[in-house]
Amino acid sequence: MEETIARARKLGGSLVVTIPKDIVEEEGIKEGEALRLTISKVEKDWFGALKGVGPFTKEDEFDEH
């Protein structure tokens, strides 16, 4: 059983998730087959949340008390 992360997108009134080609081939999935899916959301880790913030300078340092 393979695991992957995919993004849901809207198609009409439904959401669809695309199964990557390498998993389709490895698992031998054919069009029209019934599949059992386990759904869980991926937690955001906020990596890159400060993108665009420049490097800290000497003036940015906190004064020691």
* Residue 59, pLDDT score: 58
Q: Is there a domain that residue 18 lies in?
A: yes
Q: Convert 30-48 to b/e letters by CB count within 10 Å (16 or more is b).
A: eeeeeeeeeeeeeeeeeee
* Residue 3, pLDDT score: 82
* Residue 44, pLDDT score: 74
* Residue 60, pLDDT score: 55
| Bridge partners of residue 9, in order along the sequence | 16
Q: Is there a domain that residue 2 lies in?
A: yes
Q: Is there a domain that residue 64 lies in?
A: no
List of the chain residues with pLDDT < 70: 45-65
**Cα–Cα dist 3/23, whole Å:** 9
Q: Is there a domain that residue 59 lies in?
A: no
Q: For residue 16, what are the contacts with CB-CB under 8 A and spacing of at least 6?
A: 8, 9, 10
* Residue 15, pLDDT score: 93
Work out how many domains the chain is built from and give that number.
1
Render pLDDT for 32-50 as a digit per residue (tens, 0 to 9). 999 999 999 888 766 666 6
